[in-house]
Amino acid sequence: MENSKVCIEMGLKQQAWMWVFVLVLIINASFQSGWSEGCLEQERFALLQLKPFFNHPHTLSNWVEGDHNNSDCCQWERVECSNDTTGRVISLDLFYTRGEEMGEWYLNASLFSPFQQLQRLYLDANSIAGCVENEDLRSSNLKYLDLSGNIFNKNILSSLSALSSLKSLYINDIGLNGSVDLSEMFHSLRNLEVLEIGNNQIHKLVVTTGNGVSSSNLRDLILRNVSIHDGRTLFQSLESFPYLKTVHLEYNNFSGILISNRELHNFTNLKELYMGGSSVHISLLQSIAAFTSLETLNMRDCQLNGILDIKGGLCELVHLRELDLSRNNLKGALPSCFGNLTSLEELDISFNQFSGNISLSPLMALISIQQLKLSYNDFQIPISLEPFSNHSKLKSFSCKNNDLYVEAELYSLAPKFQLNSIRMSGCKGSCTFPKFLYYQHDLLAVDLSHNNFTGVFPGYYEGAVDETFYPLMRTEEIVEFRTKTISYFYHGNILTKMFGIDLSCNKLTGDIPPQIGNLTMIHALNLSHNNLYGSIPSTFSNLKQIESLDLSYNNLSGKIPHQLAELYTLEVFSVAYNNLSGRTLGLVAQFSTFNASSYDGNPLLCGLPLPRSCDAIESPTLLPTDSDGIGEENDFMDMGIFYISFTVSYAIVILTIVVVLFINPYWRQTWFHLVETWMTLCYYFIVDHLPSVI
């Protein structure tokens, strides 16, 4: 039994040592194959071979040889390796790594052949004029390639045929011009899903059907600013890509009618179409119903002109979620069929000439809307926003420069929406703050400028604290409650997350509530062009994130709180044209960047950067002294004390001279000789000049 036990133990030990030996052999074999400190030796050497061609200052600084502590090329900048045990390079980001002073050059693509697992390669903005002859890029694993911002020509398209695994290709701004045929490229790149070919002078894009092109997997096509005029031919070519989901055609200059319903058969998968900044005929909105799956349509600034007649066209896109028709010249009332777009979440029709009372418009049916932008039109909009009270998903509302009006019976019920931002202006009558704001406690940005709002600046009013409002507020939003008071906005709910308030150009009076200083995340505050009075709250020093503070054109008085010097993020500051007095904040910290225009129109202000010196304004008799009777540093000395101290000092000096002359005979003799000499000189000076004077 004991011998058997000993044999078993020895067998187990031998097996353990055998596995250790096998592990050592595996590790040794790995090192022999080139695995060295995280990256392959041949790939590290290949990177060092590439470096001389990409020598822009301050880039690739740690691509060095001979540094033992830096021998792992997987740790080098702009290099990414796989996370598995092979440690192969999978991504090289060489964007803008060649100095422009070196001029154009031809890339030797064979330098990338050692990177057999390379998946992403960024070569954009390196002044590459092409590839060395017979040295095209070849890789069976490359999926992402960016060659934008170089100086290729059409030949580059055929040079890419070996990249059979390529899924994303970016060739923006590479000098393509004229008629460009993509047929051969798509025949080879069957896996291509994303093609961005913008900022070229492509007058005509050709994609010949057949030869397998129709089976292309292209999903996203970006053709921004390519100077294509013949939109009809372009859309016919795009039918070769049945799986297209996103098409960008911004900043082109299409002429004539682009499409008609009978010409479109192959766009059933298209989800997003962006044509902003292009010249488009309004008839496109009538024919676009063929894009049955469209969810996003952007036709911002497309020079659309006329009345929006879209029955049977745009109104048929029942899956549409985002629609942007802003900055065009569309007129008249919104068509009633707009109410069919019940999936809309974002609608921007600002900067047009739409008209009509919003209460009677089809927008009332769009209860899924989250962002609604109506600014700069001719709509009539009730200031209570009562027509949208049931739009529970509404988060952002903008209606600047429309015709706001106050209803005969002001709507006062709490709406179902909770806004993040609101921008309203255009109230021409006698207006007060909209009461629906009492119930908005998610607001981040408020712009209620140019509304002729009258009354006292929103502050506090007396009343018992109603606990029924507490559930409406989040704990972190409640900044301060005073006894028996409720704040004007959001019922005691002062938002610490608010980042912008604009109440400029109204007729508000009263003091500025110090509680605004609790809006610690605010970036912009504009209370200018009102009739506000009182002092600037020192609590504004809590606005540590503020970038723009404008209190100009009011009746504010008193001194500028010195605590404002702690606002280090300010870029815009103005207290001009008030009744402020005392010293400016000087040229300290961020305030050293502001000039005199920030303080103009306050005749009692002094100090830099104003030309008025405070020494000329502040009279000594007006300067305060402390309770101990000790003056401040710039007080004048008491003149009585000055005369007494001067007399005593003079007497001490004379007495000292007499004592010294009495004790020291040599100095005494020298002193008397000096006095005698001066007396003699004076005597002869007078004798010589006396006759001429007489």
Taking only the tens place, the pLDDT of each residue in 539-553 is 999 999 999 999 999
> How many angstroms from the chain centroid is the CA of residue 677?
86
- Which residues are CB-neighbours of 169 under 8 A, at least 6 positions away? 145, 147, 160, 189, 192, 194, 195, 196
For position 25, what pLDDT does the model report?
39
What is the mean pLDDT of the segment spanning 42-65? Answer: 91
Phi and psi at 179, nearest 5°, equal -90, 125
Is it the case that residue 222 has pLDDT exceeding 60?
Answer: yes
Q: Which two tokens stand for residue 568?
A: 């280090």
What is the mean pLDDT of the segment spanning 560-580? Answer: 93
For position 635, what pLDDT does the model report?
40
**H or E element at residue 311:** none
Q: State which of 137, 159, 175 marks the end of a domain.
A: 175
> How many angstroms from the chain centroid is the CA of residue 591?
23
**CB of 227 closer than 8 Å to CB of 252:** yes
Proportion of the chain above pLDDT 70, given as a percent = 80
Residue linked to tokens 């790594």: 97
Please report whether residue 575 resides in a domain.
yes
| Rounded Cα gap, residues 242 and 265, in angstroms | 9
**Per-position DSSP letters for 472-520, written without gaps between them:** GS-GGG-----TTEEESSTTT---TT--EEE--SSEEEEPPPGGGGG-T
What is the mean pLDDT of the segment spanning 7-16? Answer: 48
Residue linked to tokens 């969810």: 295
- Which residues are CB-neighbours of 448 under 8 A, at least 6 positions away? 422, 424, 425, 433, 502, 503, 506
Please report whether residue 518 resides in a domain.
yes
For position 3, what pLDDT does the model report?
53
For strands 555-558 and 531-534, give the pairing: parallel
What is the domain-level CATH number for residue 148? 3.80.10.10
Q: How do residues 608-647 score in pLDDT, each as one tens digit?
A: 999 888 876 555 444 444 444 433 333 434 556 666 777 7
**CB of 280 closer than 8 Å to CB of 254:** yes
For position 2, what pLDDT does the model report?
53
For position 538, what pLDDT does the model report?
92
**How far is the CA of 376 from the CAs of 210, 351, 475, 556, 585, in angstroms?**
49, 5, 38, 32, 39
Please report whether residue 186 resides in a domain.
no
What count of other Cβ atoms lies within 10 Å of the Cβ of residue 316?
19
Judged by phi (left if over 0) then psi (alpha if -120 to 50, else beta), residue 492 lies in left
Please report whether residue 71 resides in a domain.
yes
Please report whether residue 46 resides in a domain.
yes
For position 219, what pLDDT does the model report?
95
Residue 101: HSE in the Cβ half-sphere, 13 Å Cα cutoff? 3
The overall average pLDDT reported for the chain is 81
Residue 527: HSE in the Cβ half-sphere, 13 Å Cα cutoff? 22
Among 375-379, 562-566, 677-681, whose mean pLDDT is lowest?
A: 677-681
Domain count, the chain: 2
**CB of 465 closer than 8 Å to CB of 488:** no
Please report whether residue 410 resides in a domain.
no
Q: State which of 115, 142, 175 marks the end of a domain.
A: 175
Please report whether residue 544 resides in a domain.
yes
What is the mean pLDDT of the segment spanning 357-378? Answer: 95
| Rounded Cα gap, residues 528 and 449, in angstroms | 9
Among 232-236, 256-260, 272-276, whose mean pLDDT is lowest?
A: 256-260
What is the mean pLDDT of the segment spanning 435-461? Answer: 80
| Rounded Cα gap, residues 560 and 135, in angstroms | 70
Among 634-638, 653-657, 669-673, whose mean pLDDT is lowest?
A: 634-638
Proportion of the chain above pLDDT 90, given as a percent = 45
**Per-position DSSP letters for 244-288, written without gaps between them:** --EEE--S-B--S----GGG--S-TT--EEE-TTSB--TTHHHHG
Q: Which domain holds residue 69?
A: 40-175
Is it the case that residue 473 has pLDDT exceeding 80?
Answer: no
Is it the case that residue 402 has pLDDT exceeding 90?
Answer: yes
Side chain identity at 136, as an amino acid letter? D
pLDDT: which is higher, 368 or 100: 368
Coil vs helix vs strand at 68: helix
Please report whether residue 306 resides in a domain.
no
Q: How do residues 175-218 score in pLDDT, each as one tens digit?
A: 999 999 888 888 889 899 999 999 999 988 888 765 555 557 99
Q: Which two tokens stand for residue 59?
A: 């880039």
**Per-position DSSP letters for 334-355, written without gaps between them:** PPGGGGG-TT--EEE--SSEEE
Q: State which of 175, 205, 238 marks the end of a domain.
A: 175
**CB of 334 closer than 8 Å to CB of 358:** no
- H helices of 112-176, in order, are 155-159
For position 310, what pLDDT does the model report?
81
